[in-house]
Chains A and B, each alone.
Chain A
Amino acid sequence: MNLIKYTFLITSFLFFLIKNSFACEIKARVSVVGNEFPAIQTVGAGAKKCKGAEVKTNLTADHQKINVAGMSSEPAEYTSAIVANTSIVALLNNDLIRPLDDLVKKHGSKLKKNQLITINDKVMAVAFMANAQHLVYRKDILEKLNISVPKTYEEMLSAAKKIRTSGLAKNPIGGAYKAGWNLAQEFNNMFIGYGGKHFKGNTPEPNVKSDAGKKALNMMKSLSEYMNPDFLTHDSNATNAEFRAGNVILMNMWGSRAATLTDADGVSDAVKKGMDIAGPMTVGGGDIPASTLFWDGWTVAKKISDAEAEATFIAMMNAIDPSIIKDDKVRKQAVWLLDGYTPTDAARGVFAAAKMNTTPYPMLPYAGLMHSAIGAEIADFMQGKENAKKTLSDIEDAYRAAAKEKGFL
């Protein structure tokens, strides 16, 4: 009895020692701003474990609206911003984040090379998770109707037609087609899938008024005919809800949501068991999937002291220490880019996307303006109010006005 007790004491003491020796020590303040989804909450909590100085986090869905202002002051309120390849652009445009090469050399031994986001040969951010949209479908229904898993959007359309005629679902296709950011993202996917280039060469001149643009719009319109008539109000939350209710059979959905898609209370067994995922689809006979790759990573502010930058780097390294993915719950939260991560079942889609050479979302200074312009103009086409040609030239006009105002054209 005593022996057990002592062993227990000694082991826990040893554990305590090990834990302490690995605990991170920082000497200056750390303050992190970022989005608030669970994977980022995990990272934020990891940074907070550091001792020796204050670590603050501000994780909010409005992070994009405050990170520029919060990193522009002298000294910056935030020493680190957690961003994605879409949102890093605003920080780069305003020159608010610092190159990390020295810090990577000093403290970044645990980083894999593909985690380093380099711009002009300087490391500007450290990525820790990846994301992409890919196919999510109901295996049971497809098997019942003897339909193979669609690899292209054309196959998706014919599958949808079969499902509708079979009467198993009235509106079998789902998609986050809500007017604005979501709809523009779907257009980007499709446009890239058709081999479109948003800009002329390496200039900020718009280039969506093309054959690929027209085809992309028409494909989206054809898909929307198999969607719930309210599709222009459906974001990914609403689309997932339709899937959970068994109304949607095929959808293009974010990888980050696949793991917990059917976890909600009250989802029927048919949906739970029938759900399966596959890689992103191609379109129009192209080889590049009609999808875009995203990463999430952290940056370090420019307008802070070197000591604060170093502390921030150490704390953030601790936050994304490969050991965090040993926890099953954490591993399910995202497709981690950390050393030793083996994809869970739910991460297959994103991995397939990466393997199929899906285009990453471009880190161009003016990509956000294009995205807004597309989101604002495309709804008219989807409602049948104007033709594809008119919509595409509207997009270019809207983009031009915005790009002129921001000093790109």
Chain B
Amino acid sequence: MKKTTSDRFSILIYSFIIIWVFLASFPFLWTFWGSFKVELDFFSISDWYNAVTGKNTFDTYNSQFTGAGYEGAWVQEEFWRSFVNSAIVCFFVVLTSLTIGTLGAYALSRSNYKYTFWLLITALIFRAMPPITLVAGYLPPFFEWNIWGILPTTIIVLVSINQPFTLWMLHSFFQNIPKELDESAKVDGCSQFQAFRHVIIPVMWPGVVTTGLFSFLLAYNDFAVTAMLLSDENRTMIPKIAAFLGTTYTEGNVMFAVAAVVSATVPLFILVMFFQKKIVSGLTQGAVKG
């Protein structure tokens, strides 16, 4: 009797998870499938079923699949340039964010003065500022100092805008690392920085990886900042994809955008697969609080 209820229970859980996985991945799988079709099939007005069978794709290319979107995006529109720019931006954003973020968050978690609380709260309020307003405010000085349009400016802005989130997340990780660890290191004659560098960071590694992944995602998916602060030869992937979409006066090439989106997801796939265990174990560290 007991066994059947638990069996039923696990059937329930499995079906729940299957439904969720389906809901979560369906739009992406649909996009992936559709990226090998022509626009009239993927965004089919006559019959959505065309997106599955590729009726018009077959009429045009004599095959149900076409790489035209990919060819257009990568060869004709040189999407790889944006790919390289994105790689540079993401790499430096993650690196800088984590460096200054761990230092700050460590200090905040190791100090018990009142001002640490207020600093954290201020950081949180800073995060409330809509990024579009911030970006509009950056434009005049950036042009004045002639630093508009280049990658380093964008990197610094992205790091700064995301610092509140990074600080909060890392702070919660540091709180769970026993203070005795750095105390004992200091007894052994280490300075605070040495204790941080040689004792705390190795223990914190999973937490840093997780926070890094979130910073990466923020930089990778950013549109508001990159669209406004980068000149067109320096564009990262997301504004480049937006540029494929066209404007009021002109037709865009939506299938280029769709193909580009699918290709832009590939490195993320690899990254998530690679860091999957780390993400979870990283957060595990942060969670040991209660």
Contacts and interface: CB of A to CB of B under 8 A. Distances in A.
Nearest to B247: A61
Given A70-B143, A245-B46, A247-B45, A266 B248 contact: no
B40 A264 contact: yes
Interface string A9-46: 00000000000000000000000000111100000000
A75 to B, nearest CB: 9
Interface stretch (A217-225, A235-243, A339-347, A373-381): A235-243
Contact of B248 (A62, A73, A245, A254): A254
Contacts of B38: 265-266
By size class, the interface of chain B is: 35 or more
Contacts of A60: 227, 232, 239, 243
Interface in B129-187: 136, 139-140, 142-144, 146, 148-149
Nearest to A72: B140
Interface string A211-239: 00000000000000000000000011100
A94 to B, nearest CB: 11
Given A61-B242, A131-B249, A69 B40 contact: no
Contacts of A57: 232
Interface in B198-240: 227-228, 231-232, 239
B276 interface: no
Given A59-B232, A242-B45, A36 B247 contact: yes
Contacts of B143: 69-70, 72-73, 76-77
Given A70-B143, A77-B143, A35 B228 contact: no
Nearest to B231: A58
Contact of A257 (B59, B60, B136, B249): B249
A125 to B, nearest CB: 18
Contact of A266 (B41, B144, B252): B41
Interface in A99-150: 131
Contacts of A266: 38-41, 56-57, 59-60
B33 interface: no
A117 B232 CA distance: 28
Contacts of A65: 136, 139, 228
A244 interface: yes
Contacts of A265: 38-40, 56, 60, 68
Interface string B45-84: 1100000000011011000000010000000000000000
Contacts of A58: 149, 231-232
Contact of A244 (B40, B41, B136, B231): B40
A176 interface: yes
Nearest to B235: A60
Given A62-B228, A69-B140, A264 B252 contact: no
A38 B250 contact: yes
A237 B251 contact: yes
Contacts of A66: 139, 148, 228
B148 A70 contact: yes
Contact of A62 (B68, B227, B249): B227
A176 B140 CA distance: 34
Nearest to A69: B139
A38 B253 CA distance: 12
Nearest to A37: B250
Interface of B: 38-41, 43, 45-46, 56-57, 59-60, 68, 136, 139-140, 142-144, 146, 148-149, 227-228, 231-232, 239, 242-243, 246-252
Interface of A: 35-38, 56-62, 65-66, 69-70, 72-74, 76-77, 131, 176, 181-182, 235-237, 240-242, 244-247, 254, 256-257, 260, 264-267
9 contacts: A38-B250, A57-B232, A61-B242, A72-B143, A73-B143, A73-B146, A240-B251, A256-B250, A260-B251
Given A77-B143, A181-B248, A241-B43, 9 more contacts: A36-B247, A77-B149, A242-B45, A257-B250, A264-B40, A264-B251, A265-B38, A265-B40, A265-B56
